Every structure is written in C-alpha cells, then in structure tokens.
Amino acid sequence: MSHLRITNCHIHTFTADHVPRWYPHPLLTPFKAVPTLAKGLAVLLDLVGQERRADTVHRLYKFQETGSGVGQEEVFASILPFYPGDTRFVVLPMDMSQMGYGPVREDIAAQHDGLARLAAHPLYGPQVIPFATLVPGKPGAVAEFKRAIEDLGFRGLKLYPRLGYAPDHPQLMEEVYPYLAERNLPVLSHCARGGVAGRNLSAAEADWFTDPRAFIPVLEAFPDLRVNLAHFGGLADWQAYVEEGIDPHDPQARTENWLAAILDLLRSGKYPGLYTDISYTVFNFTAFLPFLRVFLEDSRIAGKVLFGSDYYMTKQEQLSERAVCFGLRDALGEGLFRQIAETNPARWLGERAPGD
C-alpha cells in the first residue's frame, strides 16, 4: 500500500507551570516536590476503592514527572521516538486557572505563545497542529482565543466542560462556534467521566457538563461544525459496556452509557459534523480492541473515529504509545488503521472534503 502518514489527534504538551498551585488539594502540595510519593498515594487510593481520587492523584504524578522543570518543546520531543518521523500531532492546551485551586505560573496567553513557538520550531514545527483553548465567561477569553487563531495560526478549539461550563454556553454559541464555522475550523471536547474538574463541582455536575448529549444543541445549531467528542465516552463507560452490558428493555440505559450514546449519535445520521477519538481509552488494549474492531465494521462509525493517544497521560499505562499504535495497526488491518489515522483526521481538520 502507499505510504501512511499518521495524525495523532489528541496529545498535550502543557507543563507543571500550567497546573494550579494547590491542585488537586492544598494538602497534597508537598507531593508535587516528590512525584514518587504521589504515585504511591494513588496506588493506595486505588487499593481502598477510591478510583476517582486515585485517578486525580495519578494525573498529579504524571504532571509532575513529565512536566516539571521543562518546556513544551521538551515534552513534545519525548513523544517523538514512539512514531514515524513524519507523524503529525494535534496539540491541545489547557486553561486550568479557573478551577479554584489557586494561580498558575503561566497564564493561557503564555501557554499559547509557547505552543506557537513549538509550531514554528525548525525541526518539530511541521509535525505540530496547534489548537487554542478558552474558558467561556473568563474576562478576555474570546479575545485571547481569536489572537491564537488569527495571529498565531492555530487550527482549532479545545474545550474542557468539566471545568464548569456547558458546551452550549451563550458565549460559545454566539461568538465562538460561528467564528469557527466561518473559518472551517474544528472543535475537540473532552468527553469522559475522568479527568480534572472545577473544585466546586460535584462528580455528577462535572458529568452533566461533559455528557455527550450536552453537545446536541451545538450539533443541531451548527451542523457543518466538525466536533470531536474525545475519548469515545471514556474508560469507565467502556468498562461498563464490556463488563455489565446494556439492558435492552431500559430505554435510558443506552443514553446513560456514554460509549453507547456516542455510537447512537453517529449511527443516527443526524449529525454530519460529529467525530470521536480513541485517545487514552484504547490503552486498555486487550479488553477493548475487539469491540472497537467490530464497531468499525459499520461505515457510519468507521468514517468518524480518529486516532489519538492523550499523551502524556498515557505514560502511566503499561503499554507504550508505540505498542498501542503497532497493535492497532496489526489488529485493525492497514485499511481501517489508515481510515482512523490518516483519512478521518484530514476530514476532521478540514484538509479533505467529507467524501474524499
């Protein structure tokens, strides 16, 4: 077959300078100085059944291990050995300054500027596809987002509703989505129950903002806007789908499982701009790969799934980026892997028309 150029549609290069001072809790601040202590605490929380807290502390550990004392260039360089030299990466920033855990050392403008320097790097630049981010309602957020697009040449928008806002927030609906649609630029939104969240949000509130159904008003109002609901519903919902199943006699069961909900949204044919990516979720390789392979037999699904990894959060998993990438290519076959790693990303990014 012809050469395959992979596009990884979901990685991060933010560093410890972009994480709030007291995240995830003021009492855990000492653990930031010694990342191995955070790793041990996460293991202990997992053993006593505190999976959500364990996930939060795992993330703290990875932030500190990978992102301390380095810049975005060093973080980006650390993923390159796992991929061919012409692989492209959609790099997604995060504005965590509004989480309620204190200040960050570098604000989002500085983070955008650092990502712009990476995209202009003489060696790495051709592999970088930078996205901007914003928190709706934050003073100056839209202006900074537009600066990143217009002045820095960024290629799309990253949203993270678990921080405490709905995908159909008025500022997004009135100012941001029309702007993106006019410029043919895509959106990626976190869509999994795990991850960081605003300090004053309960788990149920964070999930309410992040539920794939929360994006339906956006998809209906902007049918041509290309929206990637990242993580394909997330690890917890894949596990529930695989281990517990879906009650066929309960009409609510499929909507309450985010994997099933995204599958149904894609199969409906109502939302031509809807995509999803397999970032992080697919690192539970043995359990989930057979299901993914079967899902991709449906052309309505196969044309809408994007390859992504969620680096560097994946560094806490046993399988490396390289192992997962080669395993996917082997298990799916060259045709399906090309579909999710080359063809679909080009369509989502607006580089190819939907039928090309």
In this predicted model, what pLDDT tens digit does every residue of 330-345 receive, in sequence order?
889 999 999 999 999 9
Residue 47 has a CB neighbour count (10 Å cut-off) of: 9
Across 116-152, b (16+ Cβ under 10 Å) vs e yields bebbeeeeeeebbbbbbbbbbebeebbebbbbbbeeb
pLDDT score for 102: 83
Q: How confident is the model at residue 32 (pLDDT cuts 50, 70, 90)?
A: low
Q: How confident is the model at residue 195 (pLDDT cuts 50, 70, 90)?
A: confident
CA distances in angstroms from 146 to 96, 157, 175, 179, 219, listed in the order given: 19, 10, 10, 9, 22
Distance (Å, whole) CA 187 – CA 210: 14
Q: Where are the strands (E) in the chain, listed by range?
A: 7-11, 88-91, 128-130, 132-133, 157-159, 187-192, 227-233, 274-277, 305-306
Distance (Å, whole) CA 158 – CA 288: 26
Indicate whether 235 pLDDT > 80: yes
Bridge partners (DSSP) listed for residue 11: 91, 311
Indicate whether 61 pLDDT > 70: no
Provide the residue ranges of all domains of the chain, joining segments of one domain with +: 7-348
pLDDT score for 321: 74
Indicate whether 34 pLDDT > 60: no
Indicate whether 66 pLDDT > 70: no
Q: Which amino acid is at 340?
A: I
Q: CB-based contacts of 33: which residues, under 8 Å, 6+ apart? A: none
Q: What's the chain's average pLDDT?
A: 88
Contact assessment for residue 312 and residue 62, using Cβ atoms and an 8 Å cutoff: yes
CATH class of 7-348: alpha beta
Percent of the chain with pLDDT over 70: 83
pLDDT score for 184: 97
Indicate whether 38 pLDDT > 60: no
Mean pLDDT value across residues 255-281: 95
Q: ∠ CA 124-190-310 to the nearest 5 degrees?
A: 40
Q: CB-based contacts of 43: which residues, under 8 Å, 6+ apart? A: 54
Distance (Å, whole) CA 285 – CA 237: 15
| C-alpha 79: how far from chain center | 16
pLDDT score for 354: 77
Each residue's pLDDT tens digit, 148-192: 999 999 999 999 999 999 999 999 999 999 999 999 999 999 999
Mean pLDDT value across residues 257-269: 97
Q: How confident is the model at residue 224 (pLDDT cuts 50, 70, 90)?
A: very high
pLDDT score for 256: 95
Indicate whether 124 pLDDT > 60: yes
Using CB atoms within 10 A of its CB, is residue 24 exposed (0-12), middle (13-18) or buried (19+)? buried
Comparing C-alpha atoms, which of 269, 159, 268, 168 is closest to residue 221? 168
Mean pLDDT value across residues 24-39: 58
Q: CB-based contacts of 293: which residues, under 8 Å, 6+ apart? A: 331, 332, 336
313, HSE (Cβ side, Cα atoms, 13 Å): 22
Indicate whether 29 pLDDT > 70: no
pLDDT score for 64: 58
Mean pLDDT value across residues 58-62: 60
